[in-house]
Structure 1
Amino acid sequence: MSAEATAETVEGLAEELSTYLDTSRINQVRRAYYYAEQAHEGQMRRSGDHYITHPLAVARILAELKLDHQSLMAAMLHDVIEDTGIPKDALADQFGEDVAELVDGVSKLTQIEFRSRAEAQAENFQKMTLAMARDIRVILVKLADRLHNMRTLGPMPYEKRLRIATETLDIYAPIANRLGMHSIFTELEDLGFSSLYPMRSRYISQAVSKLRGSHQQIIEEIRSRLEDKLEERGLPGRIIGREKHLNSIYNKMKFKQKSFHEIMDVYAFRIITDTEDDCYRILGAVHSLYKPLPGRFKDYIAMPKANGYQSLHTTLFGMHVNIEIQIRTEEMEHIANNGIAAHWMYKNESSDTLTVHQKRVDRWVQGLMEMRERADDSLEFIEHVKVDLFPDEIYVFTPKGKIMELPRGATPIDFAYAIHTDIGNACVACRINRNLGSLSQPLQSGQTVEVITAPGARPNPAWLSFVVTGKARSSIRHVLKHQKRTESIELGKTLLKKSLNGFGFKLSLIADEQVAAVVRHNQVQSFDDLLSEIGLGNRMAYLVARQLAMSGEGVLEEADQDQPQADAGSRAPVTIRGTEGLVVRFASCCKPIPGDPVVGVMDSGKGMVIHSDTCSRLPEGDEARARLTHLKWAKDITDEFSVELRVELERQRGVIAEVANAVAMADGNIERISVEEQNARLGIVSLVIHVNGRRHLARVMRRIKNIRAVTNISRVRH
């Protein structure tokens, strides 16, 4: 490209900018262009064009979105730091701190190209989140940069094309969608799709063109009937035919198992009008022209989508085809196409819709930042975020009537965390439309949800199996990890104290130097880490106690070599309450309950498993037996425990109801009941019930035994 041609294009851009920027700002953009041109002197793109054509094209895309002059300057300079070695400080001196920060943010995103390796991709996404949190314009410049790169992907090597296209569909297109930028989102999706699947893209594109040609007459007829109806009612509105983009056609064929003709037999139109009031009037007009299909009307004006999108959607049946119609105002149309970028387009006008939209984006980015802080590693973070990048929303109400948007499949737990992390953590129950509901049931649009909390309540690990939002998942994991560590330290301390008693020592009386020596010897960061390791079953309390006992005499190595002996002090039982949580679990084989003689077995990395002391799964041999922890039950246990019973009975009408009634009369709860047929006369009932100890169990068993049809009852221990 000659210097004259390049100059013409920057002048062409200046002309476009004159429609919404003043001369001094246009001159600043021009100055950034000439600076970049000089910096990239001699650099070429793979297509053979001068490198400067790329920043200029990126700025042009942003000018179409009517972005502010600083974003356009950053677009011109976005590769300067990385490709020409000019430092950020030099840009700050020339163009101001804001522009330099934007360029730096975009450069960082470019340097960290998403490699196919999941860790690298996740790491980069974290950096992108930070950049977006500082200034959302960073991602807008990056999206324009990515769009131009996708438009000019042709000359790239096959492997690189594939990687860039995959990354675009996985990360950048969903972000554009989440920011409400529909026009960039659809173009990125279609370009990504045609790069990954050129044959499929070509086939669908040809099929669409062919079909459109043959259906032109129907389209024109529907359009003219809609126009006549609006004119008859005196309603302002321009009607646009709406095209489905290739990637969405392909996804509907692939995931919804719809045929191409099924998808294309829907005729789509958009009606753009002046006011919100006109939208509803036009809806009435089109419903009087064609019959609406039940259940297909959506009011996104009253309840906007999570990305700020507003419109009325209705599907009509007319002329033997389905007609999809979207009705919205000019402002809603701008926001639908340009999303967060429309914020700069309306900068000088006051727009309530836009302020609301800006708040949504801020809330989303803030949510990303919270997740980033809670995630243990970048892979976990990206797993949470990908959920939130592909929302198919439902809308539910708080008891005060505030609308909350959540992804489809969200549960009351997701709703609780969406309100506030502390409310999610303390959630114990919920009311759905004023009735008590299950915490795991998916919510439906339009429901009113009330969360019931209790002080001191903690998240249940089972919640992870049904929550769908990234925020809920990351918050639960965060609390559980913290809880597990606290519990493992507590258990470790209890076991260590018990072992020290065997040596005639008290933990509180051991000198800090001795403790520090043992911590160093075991190569852990702190004494708490050592206690946690004991509590999780990764180290033996006896050995650590022996090290502490002997460290005063400086013989740690010798202490390690000793094998544990079963001595009186270390066999003093540890008291358990049955509610210890994540690091103390009850064996499913023997299902011990309060009153049963029990022992603890340390399970590496998981903590202690409590077995009945007659359980067949306990380790054999004297040495293994010596490592068991002797336990006793606390006196005031009120929690319930599962027990399995085997009831043999004569088969009679209503006998199962009698058994269930007997359990209820003895204040027991049935968890599961199943009947096995022995023969025509006898049957076996397998019962899993909840009791709070051996006495309670004896009461339940007595009640069942008193039933005339029952011939035998026994407790099952596998």
Structure 2
Amino acid sequence: MLRQYELVERVKEYAPDADEALLNRAYVYTVQKHGSQKRASGDPYFSHPVEVAGLMTELKLDQETIITALLHDTVEDTLATTDEIARLFGEDIARLVDGVTKLSKIEAMTENERAAENLRKFFLAMSEDLRVLLVKLADRLHNMRTLHFIKSEEKRRRIAKETMDIYAPLAERVGMYEYMREMQLLAFEQLEPEAYATITGRLDQIRNQEGGQVDAIALAIKQALAEAGMRVEVSGREKHPYSIWKKMEERHVSFEQITDIMAFRVLSDNVVDCYRALGVLHTTWQMIPGRFKDYISTPKSNGYRSLHTSLIYENSMRMEVQIRTRDMHRTNEFGLAAHWAYKQADRPDGQVGWLRDLIEIVDASHDAEELLEHTRLAIYQDRIFAFTPKGTLFQLPKGATPVDFAFAVHTDLGAKAVGAKINGRHMPLRTQLNNGDVVEIIKSDGAGPELSWLGFVVTGKARAAIRRAVRLKERAEIAVIGRKLFEEICDRLPAKIGKKAIREAVKRLGFENEDEMMAAIGSAKVDDRDIMEALVPGSAREFSEPDAWPKQERAVSIKGLTHGAGFHLAKCCHPVPGDRIVGLKKPGQGVEVHAIDCLELANGIDADWIDLSWGERSQGAIGRLRAVLYNRTGTLAEMAGIFAKSHANVTNLHMIQRDGPFGTYEIDLEVQDLAHLTRIVSALRASDAVAEAERI
């Protein structure tokens, strides 16, 4: 563990003007606050924030970041408060500590509890000040280094999976590949211990058997470049164990079939020498077609720049070579942290654009589970490059389609997309894009996102936007039914209802606006009496007599039951008066009444069967229908009109599927009897708005 004077000396080496007294105060504060707390390793707890601060000094970050690292757990794990930190260390440091604390609180929740609002605040904090993320990544890296001290295997695996799913990708997105690789390696060891042991063991064998082969190849590369008059640094290593395992999984091959397990890095003085070195290597050894990538002319979104190529060395051995300048190398290994002369105005905007996408995803997501799916998609995929016709470059995940591209350009463009040209040719919207494709989106102002797009889009931003648009469209369609039913309710009242009365009703019922109220009526979340009472207080009582309140009379009696026996109508088949019925009697339960042709009966049920029939004056029950409507304006309203004219009250409406030009709905209706229900089905089938209608 770093001692107090060692930490201060490290900071003063690269920042001579740093406030030594403030650094000392922060060190003492964290030691005092964490007091006698212990880590799983048995070390004092304060050793953790001190080590995290040490990681920040290796990146030569400013004193605010170092102090934030020292204090990052005090608000979460001690009696310290954000206000106290602001008073002692300033508002900036308090804001940074608060940003790191927000994510720590989210980690403590289960996945389903992780509220969208908390994630949105964290992503906002990151986009405003990426130092929050840098401290959090160092915090997670140090925790992974000591993960083996935790006794619970389940907890170790949970932390490792979270690291692999969220923190390693976040490190990659800000270009901190050194952090990413170490996190992946440590998580890999916990998640796949057998594979980890096998691969690291084989790498050790290769290293021992082949002696200095890596050094020999590195020397050969350096000599070839020296003969061309270039002074370069060349280093080599076996590939990362997790990278090898991932390749084995993706290609379904064994370790022995992986031929390119060696990677070499060439560092030059300038960009011109990078391309010169590439030419020398390609003329000295045979290159492998399709394996060359130029990230210097088209950098990754995190600022990564390098030339990548694969060559065939002696005995058909494959090797990967990365060529870059020394400045590029430092940026590539530590990303934004590598060149952090902290000035907000100098920060490249493109480096945090993806964070704004995450914030948009949070706003569009319906629940926490959906949100986590979308954010993982946004941060955890390999990238390709595609261009607009004007040459603007967009980076997308592998497997991305023109729909993903359209949403990457702008959410409105994605929503209005109806077609695409790829490299000048009309192509389907589900076509997967390749590196370098030029994509032109064809749009129509009357178009909208289709539910079927979810079957092929791969970006979190596109999926979130499509789901949100579909939900809004469904809500609007339900509101059409609600408005029709609302008009029927208003007809029962003694006076004509004006806009003022409707506004007051919206307030009384606690809705945000009129559309929300109509949607609630259409989906049967509020009953007729409540609407009447909200529109004209007292009307639900005054006009609830049978002659003023047209409603379904519900009076069901069953013959064949023993005196006083309780019964209920089965929800699986929804029997109505007129159906042939049978009763199922289970020990300790009432009698469940089923229609004789109910599918549940055909499956066999362990219960006593009772012959039943409807009482003479039985009328009124809930019948269930399935209707397939054409997906066009006005069809839901027409169906609602059929129900209203048939004097059937909708108690529940649920869209179960949308498939291209059709929408399938399940509807629960209050009906008098079987004949009433049959007439309604016949009326639906006669309508041009309805493709199919049947009783369930």
Q: Secondary structure at the match of 2:19?
A: helix
Q: How much does 1:240 deviate?
A: 0.9
408, 422, 427: which is aligned to 2:417? 427
Residue in 2 that maps onto 1:322: 318
Q: Are 2:518 and 1:531 equivalent residues in the alignment?
A: yes
Over 3 Å counting, the alpha-carbon distance change for 1:92 and 1:203 in structure 2 is same
1:174 aligns with 2:227: no
Q: Does the aligned pair in 2 maintain the 1:26–1:69 contact within 8 Å?
A: no
1:268 CA drift (Å): 1.2
RMSD, aligned CA = 4.0
Q: Which structure 2 residues correspond to residues 568-583 of structure 1 after superposition, within 5 A? A: 579-580=632-633
Q: Residue 628 of structure 1: CA displacement?
A: 6.0
1:163 is matched with 158
Write out aligned runs for 1:520-669 (5 A).
528-536=515-523, 552=539, 554-555=541-542, 562-563=551-552, 579-580=632-633, 604-606=653-655, 621-625=674-678
Tell me by how many angstroms 1:323 deviates: 1.6
Structure 1 residues 509, 114: CA separation in 2 closer, same or farther (over 3 Å shift)?
closer
Change (3 A) 1:262 1:491: same
Match of 1:261 in 2: 256
* C-alpha deviation, 1:264, in angstroms: 5.5
Distance 1:506 1:304, change over 3 A: farther
Question: For 1:341, which of 331, 337, 341 is the aligned residue?
Answer: 337
Compare 542-551 and 393-402 and name the one that shifted more.
Answer: 542-551
Q: Secondary structure at the match of 2:41?
A: coil
Structure 2 counterpart of 1:61, from 43, 47, 55: 55
Looking at structure 1, the residues matched to 296 and 679 of structure 2 have their Cα atoms a distance apart, in angstroms, of 70
Are the structure 2 counterparts of residues 172 and 553 from structure 1 closer, same or farther at C-alpha, using a change threshold of 3 Å?
A: closer
Residue 172 of structure 1 and its aligned partner are, at CA, apart by 1.2
SS in structure 1 opposite 2:298?
A: coil
Aligned partners of 1:297 and 1:313 also within 8 Å:
yes
Q: 1:87 aligns with which of 81, 84, 89?
A: 81
Shift in Å, 1:583: 5.3
- CA-to-aligned-CA distance 1:531-586 (integer Å, 9 cap, x gap): 224434778989978998996372466578931899xxxxxxxxx99622895799
**Change beyond 3 A, Cα 1:496–1:297:** same
Query: What is the one-letter code of the residue matched to 2:676?
Result: E
Look up the equivalent residue of 1:329 and give its one-letter code.
T
Cα distance in structure 1, aligned partners of 2:143 and 2:330:
24
Cα distance in structure 1, aligned partners of 2:378 and 2:183: 19
1:326 to partner: Cα distance: 0.6
- Structure 1 residue 206 displacement after superposition: 2.0
Once the two structures are TM-superposed, the CA of residue 213 in structure 1 deviates from its matched residue by 2.0
Which residue does the alignment assign to 1:104?
A: 98
Q: CA deviation at 1:518?
A: 12
Q: Which residue of 2 aligns with 1:331?
A: 327
Distance 1:518 1:551 in 2: 17
Counterpart residue number, 1:650: none
SS at match of 1:445: coil
- In 2 relative to 1, CA 585–474 (structure 1 residues): closer, same or farther, beyond 3 Å? farther
Can you list the C-alpha shifts for 1:343-384, whole angstroms capped at 9, x where unaligned? 31x55999xxx95xx423320111111111121222221111
- Compute the displacement of 1:160 (Å): 2.7
Counterpart code for 1:305? K
Change (3 A) 1:252 1:527: same
Letter in 2 for 1:360: G
**Where in structure 2 are there 5+ consecutive unaligned residues?**
555-618, 620-628, 640-645, 665-670
Deviates more, 1:139-148 or 1:552-561: 552-561
- Asked if 2 retains the 8 angstrom alpha-carbon contact of 1:537 and 1:606, the reply is no
Alignment of 1:283 onto 2:272? no
The C-alpha deviation readout for 1:140-164, integer Å capped at 9, x for no partner, is 1111111111111232222332322
Out of 224, 227, 242, the position equivalent to 1:229 is 224
Q: 1:407 aligns with which of 385, 397, 404?
A: 397
Q: Is the 8 A contact 1:600 1:610 kept in 2?
A: no
Task: Report the residue type matching 1:92 in the other structure.
Answer: A
Taking a change above 3 Å as real, the CA distance of residues 607 and 55 of structure 1, as seen in their structure-2 partners, is closer
Task: Report SS of the residue matched to 1:18.
Answer: helix
1:654 corresponds to: none
Distance 1:243 1:583 in 2: 63
Q: CA deviation at 1:208?
A: 0.8
Contact 1:29 1:73 in 2 (8 A): yes
Q: Does 1:391 align with 2:381?
A: yes
Return the alpha-carbon distance in structure 2 between the equivalents of residues 128 and 518 of structure 1: 34
Shift of residue 167 of structure 1?
1.7
Separation in structure 2 between the aligned mates of residue 88 and residue 543 of structure 1, nearest angstrom: 47
> Which whole-Å CA distance do the structure 2 matches of 1:192 and 1:519 have between them?
54
Distance 1:633 1:153, change over 3 A: same
Distance 2:542 2:329 in 1: 79
Q: Is the 8 A contact 1:13 1:60 kept in 2?
A: yes
Deviation at 1:227, TM superposition (A): 1.1
User: What percent of counterpart residues are identical?
Assistant: 36
Paired amino acid for 1:312 = L
**Against the structure 1 CA distance between its residues 507 and 67, is the aligned structure 2 distance closer, same or farther, given a 3 Å change threshold?**
farther
SS in 2 for 1:452: strand
CA distance in 2 between counterparts of 1:447 and 1:40 reads 55
2:683 and 2:508 map into 1 onto residues whose CA distance is: 26
Three-state SS of the structure 2 residue aligned to 1:94 is helix
Q: Quick one: structure 1 residues 513 and 535, their matched pair in 2 at CA, closer, same or farther if it must change by over 3 Å?
A: closer
SS in 1 for 2:13: coil
What TM-score do the two structures reach when normalised by structure 1?
0.74
Number of positions where the alignment pairs a residue of Structure 1 with one of Structure 2: 598
1:704 paired residue number: none
2:46 to 22, 27, 52: 52
Distance 2:139 2:251 in 1: 33
Residues 505 and 535, structure 2, Cα contact 8 Å, conserved in 1: no
Q: Which amino acid in structure 1 is aligned with residue 477 of structure 2?
A: E
Q: CA deviation at 1:395?
A: 0.8
On the 8 A contact 2:259/2:318 being kept in 1, the answer is no
Greater shift, 233-242 or 398-407, is seen at: 233-242
Q: 2 CA distance for matches of 1:54 and 1:254?
A: 35
Distance 1:262 1:553, change over 3 A: closer
Structure 2 residue matching 1:456: 3-state secondary structure: coil
Q: Deviations over 1:113-169 (max 9, x none)?
A: 345544348776445324323421112111111111111123222233232222212
Aligned residue type for 2:283: S
- Answer yes or no: is the 8 Å Cα contact 1:58–1:148 preserved in 2: yes
SS at match of 1:316: strand
Other structure's SS at 2:53 match:
helix
Please report the TM-score for the alignment, with normalisation by the length of structure 2: 0.76
Distance in 1 between residues matched to 2:488 and 2:213, nearest whole Å: 86
Deviation at 1:444, TM superposition (A): 1.5
Within 1, Cα distance between the matches of 2:64 and 2:197?
39
| TM-superposition CA deviations, 1:609-642 (whole Å, max 9, x none) | 999xxxxxx99922324656967999xx9x9x99
Structure 1 residues 430 and 514, CA gap change in structure 2 (3 angstroms): closer
Check whether the contact 1:115–1:121 (CA below 8 A) recurs between aligned residues: no
Letter in 2 for 1:395: F
Equivalent AA in structure 2 for residue 475 of structure 1: A
Q: Supply the AA of the counterpart residue of 2:397.
A: P
Please say if residues 480 and 637 of structure 2, whose CA atoms lie closer than 8 Å, have aligned partners that are also in contact. Answer: no
Deviation string, structure 1 residues 369-407 (Cα, Å, up to 9, x no partner):
111112122222111111112121111110111111111
1:514 deviation in Å?
A: 12
> Residue 384 of structure 2 contacts residue 396 of structure 2 at CA under 8 Å; is this kept in 1?
yes
Q: Find out whether 1:362 has 2:352 as its counterpart.
A: yes
* 2:506–2:514 contact (8 Å) kept in structure 1: no
Quick check: 313-322 or 490-499, which moved more? Answer: 490-499
Partner SS state of residue 605, structure 1: strand
Q: What is the rounded CA distance, in whole Å, between the counterparts of 2:131 and 2:522 in structure 1?
A: 49
Which residue matches 1:687? none
Q: Which residue of 1 aligns with 2:505?
A: 516
Question: CA–CA distance in 2 between the matches of 1:133 and 1:48?
Answer: 36
CA shift, 1:324, in A, is 0.9
Q: Deviation per CA, 1:48-89, whole angstroms, max 9, x where unpaired?
A: 322222111101111111111111011111122233312222
Distance 1:564-1:525 versus aligned 2 partners, 3 A rule:
farther
